[in-house]
C-alpha cells in the first residue's frame, strides 16, 4: 500500500501533520471556539429562502466578485468603509492564504508572535514563505519594544498580529500596532476573528485603515455570528489591497449558496449578536472561577479562556474528556484552553475540573465556582 512518504511531495512538507483539532462525540465540546448557540429559527428560515432562490440558477457561475455581500459586510463594519475596501472568501483562513500568496512566497518572510494562531505558519509553508517565530512576554503580552526589535531583526514582508490573540485571548495594545506600522517594511495583518467578544473600550484596528495602505484587518463570521459551518471570512483594507488579492484568488471561489446564506445572516445580525453578551458572561465566569481555584488565567477578550492547570496539561485534558468535556490542548506545557459556551456547558466544565489534580496534589480540589449567571439564556429568537 502506498504511503505518504512514497509520493513525490515537496521536501519541506515531509514529516508534517495536517492542522486539526479532535472532533469527538462528547456531551460538551469546548475545544474549537465555536458559538454554542444554534442559529435562531428566523435566521434559518431566511437562509433557507435565500439559498432556495439560488438553486435553479446553479448551472451558472456565481458573482465572481461577491459585490452585494461585500457591500453588506462594509455596512456592518462602518468606519466609512465601502465595497472597494472589503474582500470575502471561504473563511478567514482563505483570506489570509490569499494574502500570503500575493505578498509572501519564495524569497519572502512572514513574522508572527507566538503563542498565536497556529494556522499562520502553516499558510506560510503552503505558499513557500519563510516563517519567523517571534515571541511574547511571560504574561503573553507584547510590548512596543519587543515588537519593534523583532520587526527590525527579521525585516518581514508580512507581519501577523492577533487581537484578541488565539490561544491566549489577550487584546493588542494599540501602541504596539502603531509602532509596528511605523517600522514594518511590508504588510501588517491584524487578525480580529474574536473582536466582537472584546470587553468594552477595547479598540480594534479598523479606525487606523485610512492613511495606512499596508494595513489589513481580517475577520470571520464563524464565531460571533455562529456561521462556522458556512465558512465566510473577510478583510478590510485599502482598495489596492483588494485589487491585489484578486490577482491570486481562484475563479468563482465563493459559491452562490455561500453568498446567499451569508447575506441572510447579515440581515439578522442584531438577533445573532445577541448571544455575544451571554457568551461574554460565561467567559468572565470561567475566569473568575478558575482564579478562585488558585489557577493562573490569562485575561481574555475572546470567547475562550487560557488557563494553567498546575501540572501536565495532557493528564488534565484526558481527565476532562473522561468526564465528557472536550477542551483544547494548544501545545503550551501546563496550559489548556476552554471555549465559553452556554451556562449549562460552563456548569459541566466546572464539575469536570474538580477531578483534575492541581500541582502535586493527587486528589481533586475543593469547589470554588461562582454561581451560574442568573440572566435568561437566549430564546429561539436569540434575545436575552
208-251 pLDDT per residue, tens: 999 999 999 999 999 999 999 999 999 999 999 999 999 999 99
Instruction: Read off the C-alpha cell for 198.
Output: 472584546
* For range 340-364, the mean pLDDT: 82
User: Between these two residues, 368 and 161, which has the higher pLDDT value?
Assistant: 161
Read off the C-alpha cell for 255. Answer: 459559491
**Higher-confidence position of 5 and 157:** 157
Cβ atoms 30, 345 nearer than 8 A: yes
What is the sign of the dihedral through the CA atoms of 164, 167, 170 and 174?
Answer: negative
What is the chain's mean pLDDT, rounded?
92
> CA 1 to CA 379: how far, in whole Å?
53
What pLDDT, on a 0 to 100 scale, did the predictor assign at position 359? Answer: 58
Residue 382 scores a pLDDT above 50: no
Does the structure show a pLDDT above 70 at 45?
Answer: yes
pLDDT average, residue stretch 46-69: 98
260-264 mean pLDDT: 98
- Beta pairing partners, 135: 114
Q: Are 224 and 272 in contact (CB under 8 A)?
A: yes
To the nearest whole percent, how much of the chain has pLDDT over 90? 86
For the segment 18-25, the average pLDDT, to the nearest whole number, is 81
Take residue 158 and report the three cell numbers written for it: 508580512
The domains located in the chain, with CATH, are: 23-38+273-384 (3.90.1150.10), 41-267 (3.40.640.10)
Cα 270 to its chain centre, rounded Å, is 21
Q: Is the pLDDT assigned to residue 107 strictly greater than 60?
A: yes
pLDDT, residue 381, reads: 26
Which residues make Cβ contacts (< 8 Å) with residue 133, sequence separation at least 6? 112, 114, 121
CB–CB of 28/325 below 8 Å? yes
Q: How confident is the model at residue 130 (pLDDT cuts 50, 70, 90)?
A: very high
What's the rounded mean pLDDT across residues 289-306? 96
The gap from C-alpha 112 to its chain's centroid, in whole angstroms, comes to 15
Identify the band that residue 19 occupies on the pLDDT scale cut at 50, 70 and 90: confident
Amino acid at each position: 500500500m502506498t504511503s505518504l512518504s512514497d509520493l513525490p511531495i515537496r521536501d519541506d512538507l515531509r514529516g508534517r501533520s495536517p492542522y486539526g483539532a479532535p472532533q469527538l462525540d462528547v456531551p460538551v465540546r469546548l475545544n474549537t471556539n465555536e458559538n454554542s448557540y444554534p442559529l435562531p429559527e428566523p435566521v434559518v428560515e431566511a437562509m433557507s429562502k435565500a439559498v432556495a432562490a439560488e438553486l435553479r440558477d446553479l448551472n451558472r457561475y456565481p458573482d465572481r466578485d461577491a459585490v452585494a455581500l461585500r457591500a453588506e459586510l462594509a455596512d456592518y463594519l462602518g468606519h466609512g468603509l465601502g465595497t472597494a475596501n472589503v474582500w470575502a472568501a471561504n473563511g478567514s483562513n482563505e483570506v489570509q492564504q490569499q494574502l500570503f500568496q500575493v505578498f509572501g512566497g519564495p524569497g519572502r518572510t512572514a513574522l508572527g508572535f507566538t503563542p498565536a494562531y497556529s494556522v499562520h505558519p502553516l499558510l506560510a509553508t503552503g505558499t513557500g514563505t519563510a516563517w519567523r517565530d517571534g515571541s511574547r512576554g511571560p504574561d503573553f503580552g507584547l510590548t512596543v519594544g519587543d515588537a519593534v526589535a523583532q520587526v527590525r531583526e527579521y525585516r518581514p514582508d508580512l507581519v501577523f498580529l492577533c487581537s484578541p490573540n488565539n490561544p491566549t485571548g489577550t487584546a493588542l495594545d494599540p501602541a504596539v500596532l502603531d509602532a509596528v506600522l511605523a517600522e514594518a517594511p511590508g504588510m501588517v495583518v491584524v487578525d480580529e476573528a474574536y473582536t466582537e467578544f472584546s470587553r468594552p473600550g477595547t479598540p480594534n484596528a479598523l479606525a487606523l485603515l485610512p492613511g495606512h495602505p499596508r494595513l489589513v484587518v481580517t475577520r470571520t463570521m464563524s464565531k460571533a455570528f455562529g456561521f462556522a459551518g458556512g465558512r465566510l471570512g473577510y478583510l478590510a483594507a485599502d482598495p489596492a489591497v483588494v485589487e491585489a488579492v484578486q490577482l491570486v484568488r481562484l475563479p468563482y471561489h465563493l459559491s452562490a449558496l455561500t453568498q446567499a446564506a451569508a447575506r441572510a445572516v447579515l440581515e439578522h445580525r442584531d438577533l445573532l449578536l445577541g448571544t455575544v453578551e451571554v457568551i461574554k458572561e460565561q467567559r468572565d465566569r470561567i475566569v473568575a472561577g478558575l482564579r478562585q481555584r488558585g489557577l493562573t488565567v490569562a485575561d481574555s477578550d475572546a470567547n475562550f479562556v487560557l488557563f494553567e492547570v498546575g501540572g501536565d496539561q495532557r493528564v488534565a485534558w484526558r481527565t476532562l474528556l473522561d468526564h465528557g468535556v472536550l477542551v483544547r490542548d494548544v501545545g503550551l506545557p501546563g496550559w489548556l484552553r476552554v471555549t465559553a459556551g452556554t451556562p449549562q456547558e460552563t456548569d459541566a466544565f466546572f464539575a469536570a475540573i474538580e477531578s483534575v489534580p492541581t500541582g502535586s496534589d493527587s486528589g481533586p480540589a475543593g469547589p470554588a465556582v461562582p454561581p451560574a449567571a442568573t440572566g435568561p439564556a437566549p430564546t429561539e429568537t436569540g434575545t436575552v
